[in-house]
Structure 1
Amino acid sequence: MIHKTKRTPTAVLFATCASTLVLTGCFTEFDIEDDTPTAATQCESQTLQNGLCQANQSEVIDWLAKNFENQQRNVVYELNSAEAGVQTVQDFDAVAAPATDNIEASETNTIEDGVDESDWVKVIDNRYLATPKQPKVDYQYVWKENTAKQKQDCQDNYFDGGFFIEPSVQVDSIVDTIEIDSKTSEPYFYNWCEGRWELDDIYITEGELKVFEMIQTPASSAIISNTKLNPYSNYVSGLYDVLDDTGLLVLSSLSDELPEMRSNYGWWHNKSGIDMIDVSDPINPQANWSIKLDGYIVDTRVLNDELFVVSRRSPYEFYQFADTLNTDALNSIPTNKLMGTIQLNDEAPQLLSPIETCLLPKDERPAWGITFTYLTKIDLTDPSNIQTVCTLAPMHSIYMNEEAVYFLTTDYNWRNDDNRVKTNLDRFDLNTLNYTGSLYTDGSLGWGIDSKFRIKEQTLNEQQVLTLILTEQNSNNREHYIRNFEVNGSEFTQLDVYPEAGEKAIGKEREDIFSARIDGNSVQIVTYLNSDPLYEFNISDPSNIWMESELEIPGFSTYLHNIEDTELTVGLGQTDDRRLKIELYDQTGTDSSVLGTIELDSRTYSPATWDYKAFTSINDAENQLFRIAIPIQRWGYNDWTVNSETYYTNMAGIWLIQVDYSTSPATITQVNEIEVTDQPRDVYQSRAVIRGSAVHYAINGEVFSVDFSETTDVHSSAQ
């Protein structure tokens, strides 16, 4: 155990907002229904050197014109779009199920307690399971054979000695003369001179929201309602159960024109849909209200009957007139086309944000492209109450607790200063949506599942503390740090950093962080190269971070889950030979230990290793049992043996694990490994729900039910 002498906090003040602005931020609140822009303080008059500033219209236009060239070099394709209305249908006779005891069911695994996240499955009243069936677009093509002249012209003009010749322009049909640009070095494998496939028809199957009753004995499910989603939805991105389980929010991307669905260019005009469905009577769901907004939804959260939406869009006009886009051209773009709109039901569309309220980066941030990013707050009890703030600063991901939301961006070539990595954090107050300040710090928060858990803002030692787990990389070396900052209004004051000189490093040379977790006073980090050190740090005194324990084991974990009110941690990851494993760690005091490891056969994977929402658990505190259900899959093998080698079938199933902490030491056991289907399609969207003694596994509109036991009987909702 290493204790450090408590030090005086180092006062490192980062970007602040001008004190003359409204409340604590650089954003003036506005009513979306009010077309009159509020007064804006010009960027030049603001004293802050970094962070975001509130500009006037001419400053925004000037900024766009200057930065447009970067956007042309960095086009990012997003999902298609659409608009919609929700229609509820009943294709069967549904009878209300008799009341049953209120058996607790598992919920969506989230980053922050109390802050809900969208998921593929939501549970209503601990009794009903709601899940979407994705819309589907099928294209029918017909073969059109070329004429003899077309075939000969194709051979003469497109091929030379078995090699394909690239024309300088794209052509839709064979013409007499084609200008030759260059000859490739790749031989052709298919002689498309004979003919071509042409699109003949498009078949569209609308998405559906299905609600099932979860039955205990025997473990099974029964569909009780089936709601057709709006016909313009081309992808359902998630669900929320809200308003005390009386409403379901359906998030989706939308397309204005059905024939253009899934088009490569659909994202230019992309829209997103938010549909509220009344499920106070789950047998008879009813459409309540619908919101359509321009842009692609990046992430969402629900807190206290309010939906927070982070969306972004790049106006099509930027690229349509790329060669002539300048300040004059930008001024000629209609405001609704530039800023985008939001629309409730059939009411007139309103601006997502007036241009005067859009925040500009005051510092020299990297400009990967011009993208408007919006933070929108929607009152779910009164959807006409909408607030939005806009920024033109880059953003990779978000972190949100019950107080604030952070826009996070990592730059791997910060201002070309010795290739240093920097992370930008822009903070917004959730109550007012005011921008409160920015933090710039060395290092990155990483990528993948571990990056979601490398940041936390909470109250420690009567201080509002922001904890970050950051990685700096120079050449092949990686250095990992824990940094604590006090958050006080617009200021971030560094309290402590670990390690400092003389303190043990986090990880060995060239080891990367594979998983991390900040949970109350504890910080857990797993690094890996040839082995798996699991470190635990104590941050109960945010000015004095110290290493509490270190545990070295084979393999690595990509997700860590702490069992509430215990010192037990479950780690999900892989062995050294890349087999799926789950382990139980006891991290009491300085004597961390492995209490048990369970491994599956090779070629078995789980989406829970990269998607924390796929990790389903429920804690039976009364009986001190912690139950886990994890989707698993195998691909591309036949179940037979040749020369003593075994080949496995395709499968999708559930891995059932139980931790018994009623005894000391606690134990971890595999209850079952169950195959529910040999078609592991869409497994990345699969989810399990644990309810009492039953487990219900949902995958693209179907539900498979099993007992949380050693039995292998599987009930399909299609039966």
Structure 2
Amino acid sequence: MKYVKLANYILSAVCIAGLTACSGDSSEDDLGQTPVPTAVPQINPATAFSGALAQVNQAKASRYIKNGIYSSIAQYAYQTAYPSAPAETLKDNFSTTNTQESGVDEADRLEYNGDTLYLAAFAEWRNEANYPAHVRVLQRNTDYSLTQVAELPLSQENANIDGIYLNDDRLAVLSSEGYRYTFDTLMAGSWDTFENKFTVDLYNTREVSSPVLLNNMQFDGSLLSSRRIGDALYLVSSFTAHVEGLNLNASTDAEFLANYRKIVATSDDELMPKVYVDGQAKALFSAEDCVIPAQASDKDGYAQLLSVIKINLLVPTEIVASCVSAMADMMYMSADSLYLGAAVNEQTALHKIGLQGAVPSYQASGLLNGVVGWQSQRELKLSEQNGFLRVVTTDYSAQSPVHHLSVLTQNGNELQVVASLPNKDQPEAIGKPGEEIYAVRFMGDKAYIVTFERIDPLYVIDLSDPYTPIVAGALEIPGFSSYLFPMDNNYLLGVGQHVNARNIPDRGAVADEPVTQEGMKISLFDVNDPANPIEINNIVMAQAYTPVEYDYRALSALNINGAYQLAMPVEQWGQNEDEFGTWWNQSSLLLLQVDTNSAQSMLIQNSQVQVPNSSDYYVYGGDDRSVIHGEHVFYIHGNQVWHSLWNDELKPAGPY
């Protein structure tokens, strides 16, 4: 990064906006007038702090945010110049969105209430015509065929749908224009020249054929994630103020100074995100409402503001929000708390936001050894139960990755680590040397961790005493699971990839060829005896994968008193034996069943629903979804819906 010069002038520079002390003590704030600075300040690069956050006075919060905007622009100029637990208990016999936590709903492209199916249809280009994204409303007929009764356009014509929520007769449609930011992309760059906005359209769906738009809510910033608990919709977004007239190609001291003067002269109100309800603007919060790192000095800053927004779906004019000005590249949410996390020098800084009050509020911070990492579905590496947060991290500072499981609880404004693995009493490592973590799932007072390099060890960790976790047992099998689905009666479904067992050397031998992935593998594990987990059986499909491996929402599960019906989309591919050697791909929906009450529970492949591609171009299977309704199955491929019977090998009906 290019540093701007003459740090000794920073005090006078920030004083022009009344942001810091002018008496020589930078720890105090003084709003008195001072001379206009004649040199460029030196602001530290944005960094993630390991300590607590704090609500400070408006002057200090304003300085931190404005320093961050300036630092981001200086970096930008330099870079451009120099190249869960199982789903909720079902009241009806149809499946709902597969979520991490029971009672915490997650946005998806599909909602179904037993009578009506709502589908977020992606924008398409067909027959030289553009069809913008919209929501299809399809009514179920008595024979389980579907009839489209309504189509809901987006309020922003060129937007894309980020997900939908259905809560009784309230349908919330989340959409964004332009580039979609998530927590996975947040750390790529903290400053954006575009004035991003995202939208929530809230409908009353009591009259299914004619839904009524209740509110159009547009928010400044980029939507990072969302959840729903009961009637409350929670949104987490990122906002960086757009200051007009800045020179993004600044290279001289005079140009940097001009940028800094323009930023500090901008009013705080102009730097805060707003919500626009039916076109009427309202500030989400003020600068003094923001919490910032307590360790931050007057030379520190961060441009982004993270907003935790709560909307009452029954009274949508009730919109409240809290502000966090601190780095975060991941989020986990339980029924009680929301956690933001960021990597800090091979450690993870965590910030807890409480959800119990009228407004989400900052509670505490903590620091863990290792980082959550990017392998697998990383939010599943966190779980909160009975006030204890359990987290799996990896330390990459050594030659071989070292994995940790930590247990934290809140003490004042600190998240304290009360136990961890490995430890002096339990020194056994989680995983063998060189193995990465491929899947984590918490199930009550147990944690299941899959590591992999050449074989798949499944570790069972007992957390019944949160202060004394122990590795209860392990199982080694070829292949690996990328996603673990907990089931009744201590069974576990693993979804991942099979590997060539011939390439796995005997214990102590040196491998002479790489292990190759040979197709999708689904395993049923019996974990009734934690010390001796068992793989009961598995199903392998060559040259195939399922999106469930990296997006658990693609799995549909209907649990009727321990008897499971499961559906997951599958993509298979191969090469034709013709002179051209052309490749083919086939999309399908795999139907499975498991009776966990049986004395001889088995994973059974029921059937495979195959449909033709919905158009002349490739349809991404990662967005495929399904609904199981008793003996009926709806398979969503692209923007089309197909209907099949559970035990029917005939061609499915549709598309609808």
TM-score, length basis structure 1 = 0.72
Q: Which of 526, 529, 533 is the aligned partner of 1:592?
A: 533
Q: Which residue of structure 1 lines up, in the alignment, with residue 119 of structure 2?
A: 131
Q: Which residue of structure 2 lines up, in the alignment, with residue 331 of structure 1?
A: 264
- Deviation, structure 1 residue 465: 1.1
Q: State whether residues 276 and 287 of structure 1, in contact with CA within 8 Å, keep that contact through their aligned partners in structure 2.
A: yes
In structure 2, do the counterparts of structure 1 residues 457 and 610 end up closer, same or farther at CA, with 3 Å as the change threshold? Answer: same
Q: Match of 2:396, SS?
A: strand
Letter in 2 for 1:664: A
Q: Which residue of structure 2 lines up, in the alignment, with residue 151 of structure 1?
A: none
Q: Which residue of structure 1 lines up, in the alignment, with residue 15 of structure 2?
A: none
In structure 2, do the counterparts of structure 1 residues 325 and 55 end up closer, same or farther at CA, with 3 Å as the change threshold? Answer: farther
Q: Match of 2:611, SS?
A: strand
Q: What aligned pairs does 1:418-567 form with structure 2 within 5 A after superposition?
A: 421-432=346-357, 433-459=360-386, 464-501=387-424, 503-564=427-488, 566-567=489-490
- Deviation, structure 1 residue 302: 0.8
Letter in 1 for 2:415: F
Return the alpha-carbon distance in structure 1 between the equivalents of residues 301 and 436 of structure 2.
26
Q: Which residue of structure 2 lines up, in the alignment, with residue 241 of structure 1?
A: 166
- Deviation, structure 1 residue 395: 1.1
- Deviation, structure 1 residue 512: 0.6
- Deviation, structure 1 residue 362: 2.2
Q: Which residue of structure 2 lines up, in the alignment, with residue 226 of structure 1?
A: 151
Q: Match of 2:377, SS?
A: helix
Q: Match of 1:588, SS?
A: coil
Q: State whether residues 368 and 406 of structure 2, in contact with CA within 8 Å, keep that contact through their aligned partners in structure 1.
A: no
Return the alpha-carbon distance in structure 2 between the equivalents of residues 227 and 492 of structure 1.
45
- Deviation, structure 1 residue 267: 6.7
Q: Match of 1:618, SS?
A: strand
Return the alpha-carbon distance in structure 1 between the equivalents of residues 619 and 192 of structure 2.
25
Q: Which residue of structure 2 lines up, in the alignment, with residue 119 of structure 1?
A: 108
Return the alpha-carbon distance in structure 1 between the equivalents of residues 452 and 258 of structure 2.
48
Q: Match of 1:269, SS?
A: coil
Return the alpha-carbon distance in structure 2 between the equivalents of residues 311 and 135 of structure 1.
23
Q: State whether residues 65 and 326 of structure 1, in contact with CA within 8 Å, keep that contact through their aligned partners in structure 2.
A: no
Return the alpha-carbon distance in structure 2 between the equivalents of residues 382 and 400 of structure 1.
23
In structure 2, do the counterparts of structure 1 residues 331 and 409 end up closer, same or farther at CA, with 3 Å as the change threshold? Answer: same
Letter in 1 for 2:52: G
Q: Deviations over 1:30-55 (max 9, x none)?
A: xxxxxxxxxxxx99589x99211223
Identical amino acids, percent of aligned pairs: 23
Q: What aligned pairs does 1:513-662 form with structure 2 within 5 A after superposition?
A: 513-564=437-488, 566-576=489-499, 577-578=516-517, 579-589=519-529, 590-602=531-543, 604-621=544-561, 624-634=562-572, 637=574, 640-642=576-578, 649-662=584-597
Q: Which residue of structure 2 lines up, in the alignment, with residue 170 of structure 1?
A: none
Q: Which has the larger radius of gyration?
A: 1
Q: Are 1:350 and 2:282 counterparts?
A: yes
Q: Can you give the 5+ residue segments of structure 2 that lack an aligned partner in the other structure?
A: 1-24, 30-48, 78-90, 180-190, 249-255, 500-515
Q: Can you give the 5+ residue segments of structure 1 that lack an aligned partner in the other structure?
A: 1-41, 77-101, 141-202, 257-264, 415-420
Q: Deviations over 1:241-269 (max 9, x none)?
A: 01xx201100001379xxxxxxxx99712
Q: State whether residues 407 and 420 of structure 2, in contact with CA within 8 Å, keep that contact through their aligned partners in structure 1.
A: yes
Letter in 2 for 1:697: Y
Q: Are 1:105 and 2:32 counterparts?
A: no
Return the alpha-carbon distance in structure 2 between the equivalents of residues 522 and 43 of structure 1.
49
Q: Match of 2:458, SS?
A: strand
Q: Which residue of structure 2 lines up, in the alignment, with residue 706 of structure 1?
A: 644
In structure 2, do the counterparts of structure 1 residues 43 and 380 end up closer, same or farther at CA, with 3 Å as the change threshold? Answer: farther
- Deviation, structure 1 residue 309: 0.7
TM-score, length basis structure 2 = 0.79
Q: State whether residues 66 and 301 of structure 2, in contact with CA within 8 Å, keep that contact through their aligned partners in structure 1.
A: no
Q: Are 1:274 and 2:200 counterparts?
A: yes
Q: Which residue of structure 2 lines up, in the alignment, with residue 361 of structure 1?
A: 293
Q: State whether residues 444 and 471 of structure 1, in contact with CA within 8 Å, keep that contact through their aligned partners in structure 2.
A: yes
- Deviation, structure 1 residue 344: 1.1
In structure 2, do the counterparts of structure 1 residues 601 and 121 end up closer, same or farther at CA, with 3 Å as the change threshold? Answer: same
Q: Match of 2:194, SS?
A: helix
- Segment drifting more, 492-501 vs 434-443: 492-501
Q: Match of 1:64, SS?
A: helix
Return the alpha-carbon distance in structure 1 between the equivalents of residues 221 and 278 of structure 2.
17
Letter in 1 for 2:522: I
Q: Which residue of structure 1 lines up, in the alignment, with residue 38 of structure 2?
A: none
Return the alpha-carbon distance in structure 2 between the equivalents of residues 550 and 593 of structure 1.
9
Q: State whether residues 176 and 198 of structure 2, in contact with CA within 8 Å, keep that contact through their aligned partners in structure 1.
A: yes
In structure 2, do the counterparts of structure 1 residues 231 and 66 end up closer, same or farther at CA, with 3 Å as the change threshold? Answer: closer
Q: Which of 373, 380, 394 is the aligned partner of 2:306?
A: 373
In structure 2, do the counterparts of structure 1 residues 597 and 687 end up closer, same or farther at CA, with 3 Å as the change threshold? Answer: same
Q: State whether residues 62 and 327 of structure 1, in contact with CA within 8 Å, keep that contact through their aligned partners in structure 2.
A: no
Q: Match of 1:550, SS?
A: strand
Q: State whether residues 532 and 552 of structure 1, in contact with CA within 8 Å, keep that contact through their aligned partners in structure 2.
A: yes
- Segment drifting more, 664-673 vs 579-588: 664-673
Q: State whether residues 522 and 539 of structure 1, in contact with CA within 8 Å, keep that contact through their aligned partners in structure 2.
A: yes
- Segment drifting more, 665-674 vs 60-69: 60-69
Q: Match of 1:559, SS?
A: strand
Letter in 1 for 2:451: T
Aligned residues: 557
Letter in 2 for 1:552: E
Return the alpha-carbon distance in structure 1 between the equivalents of residues 422 and 467 of structure 2.
13
Q: State whether residues 69 and 303 of structure 2, in contact with CA within 8 Å, keep that contact through their aligned partners in structure 1.
A: yes
Return the alpha-carbon distance in structure 2 between the equivalents of residues 330 and 426 of structure 1.
28
Q: Which of 362, 369, 393 is the aligned partner of 2:326?
A: 393
Q: Which residue of structure 2 lines up, in the alignment, with residue 298 of structure 1?
A: 224
Letter in 1 for 2:97: T
Q: Match of 1:650, SS?
A: strand
In structure 2, do the counterparts of structure 1 residues 213 and 293 end up closer, same or farther at CA, with 3 Å as the change threshold? Answer: same
Q: State whether residues 65 and 325 of structure 1, in contact with CA within 8 Å, keep that contact through their aligned partners in structure 2.
A: no
Q: What aligned pairs does 1:32-431 form with structure 2 within 5 A after superposition?
A: 50-68=51-69, 70-72=71-73, 104-124=93-113, 126-136=114-124, 205-214=131-140, 217=143, 220-242=145-167, 245-254=168-177, 268-317=194-243, 320-322=246-248, 323-324=256-257, 328-346=261-279, 348-363=280-295, 370-411=303-344, 414=345, 421-431=346-356
- Deviation, structure 1 residue 321: 3.9
